[in-house]
Chain A
């Protein structure tokens, strides 16, 4: 599916501006996702598409509304050179796959066709006819991701 490419330091204020934080419904948040830097995103994004960016993706506020908006927009995974730490844990906690892969993040452009195999740790850029490997998560995080988030993991284990 298609990639949407952004730059370094994509912050949570542009992922979902605070003026929409008086709501928390995922579909509403998704409808305003990225609008201050990419008006077309929410209109054109399709389920299974990817977001690709540079360093420090998701920097800024702790609003979980940011990964919620991205996930609800249909994004299958975010691929970046690096992630800001609160966004990183929020994405893991809600079951939004995030992948650190510098070379792929560098070479991919908006419109490139991508596919990701999370278990095998492989990204394929079909447009460039190139594959990239990425490190699987450490076991501790993998367990959360495999449960589709922290809440489901804890529900299974019991609080």
Chain B
């Protein structure tokens, strides 16, 4: 019986010729990731194991990004714990704030993940690297600690949903709209325990940044991983960023899927997920004028160059509405620099937005833009749960950078299509 892309990667990493859905395996890991929130707990687990040393100092990535630059004394302690562990264990891929970025934007940019890899990260959005044709998935701190010691992780082999994309996206519609549309269709547990495998002739028109955004939010449908078929764009991206050689796996022609969903990209419209679940999606025309207090462009979902580019294009020559606080957070130092060279940062500041150094910050209600009681935000981030960005009565509406930028100008949730 044929295997899916995910099953083939897992099989190759546990020495099995064939895997069946539901098999428990121990897979060899190509990379283990942690951040300033999850790594300190993982380090405790690691130390409890009394391992002689980490399995491979070059295959562990530690990124202070959630509450870094340190937001308070406790956060500073957590970053310090991770920093000291990295020094003590000579971890090659520890990124201090001057060279850091939000982990899931940073790792592909640094070439640390290539097609065919198995990656675990103590962060749910680790599924982002599926855009590169890797199996990557979020796990907890115990798994991370064990992964650092042994280079292995246990998995239950998942079944998969095949997402067959056709057509091309219209102007103002991006990867964010595609993934919100899909989550709206299948629900926040629609892919629970499963892989989402993205394929089809529509793939070609999606930029790598679109694909990173889509794979990133696979977890928001409950998926174990979201993975993209590898094409010329993937190979070109990897060649540009990594010295490693990718290994391309394709699903077997007779691979079995639980379900096949076809998405006509040309039919999609700018999409907004209403509080308090990413599945509560609506398109413009299905809701009235919703006033907003804050707009955030950033995060591991939408803080990349293409996201800042469209934001700058829409903001250029306009002012942020007087009732809106607009916060723009480039996801990595490199993206920040590239945006500066392209003139985007000047456009943002002229428009009246603030620009922050890379951090997860407000996305998870950490800092750099917390919402007060009853306040409302449009954010390009990934979750809109109760209390996610601040007070428990505050609200987060998830949208693309284009919708976020237009909302910042108008003061209410607005579509760029209307202009």
A-to-B contact residues, CB < 8 Å: 9, 11, 13-14, 17-19, 21-24, 36-37, 55-56, 59-65, 67-68, 82, 84-86, 89-90, 93-94, 138, 140-141, 149-151, 154-155, 159
| Closest A-B pairs by Cβ, 6 of them | A22-B74, A90-B140, A64-B140, A56-B189, A93-B142, A140-B24
A62 & B149 in contact (Cβ 8 Å cutoff):
no
* 8 Å CB interface, B52-97 against A: 66-67, 71-72, 74-75, 78
Beyond A13-B383, A24-B40, A84-B189, is A62–B392 a contact (Cβ under 8 Å)?
no
Between-chain CB contacts (< 8 Å), 11 pairs: A9-B189, A13-B388, A17-B365, A24-B41, A85-B222, A85-B224, A90-B143, A93-B142, A159-B49, A159-B149, A159-B150
In B209-256, the 8 Å CB interface with A consists of 219, 222, 224
What's the nearest-Cβ distance from chain A to residue B102, in Å? 14
- Within 8 Å by CB of A138, from B24, B48, B75, B139, lies B24
Task: Spell out B's residues near A (CB within 8 Å).
Answer: 24, 37-38, 40-41, 44-45, 48-51, 66-67, 71-72, 74-75, 78, 121-124, 126, 138-143, 145-146, 149-150, 154, 188-189, 192-193, 219, 222, 224, 277, 364-366, 383, 385-388, 392
B37 to chain A: which residues have CB within 8 Å? 18, 21, 63, 65
Q: Of B40, B50, B78, B122, which is within 8 A of A159 by CB?
A: B50
Q: Does the CB pair A17–B387 fall under 8 Å? A: yes
**Minimal beta-carbon separation of B381 from chain A (angstroms):** 12
**CB pair B386 A65 closer than 8 Å:** no
Residues of A within 8 A of B154 (CB): 140
Task: Tell me the nearest residue of chain B to A91, going by C-beta.
Answer: B140
Contact among A17, A23, A36, A151 with B142 in the assembled complex (CB-CB below 8 Å): A151
Q: How far, in angstroms, from A36 to B388 measured CA to CA in the complex?
A: 10
Which residues on the A side are within 8 Å of B45 (C-beta)? 151
B231 to chain A, nearest CB (A): 28
Q: A13, A61, A62 — which one has the most chain B CB atoms within 10 A of its CB?
A: A62
Q: Chain B residues with Cβ under 8 A from A59's Cβ?
A: 188-189, 222
Contact for B143 among A22, A63, A89, A155, CB less than 8 A: A89
Q: How far is the CA of A14 from the CA of B275 in the complex (A)?
A: 14
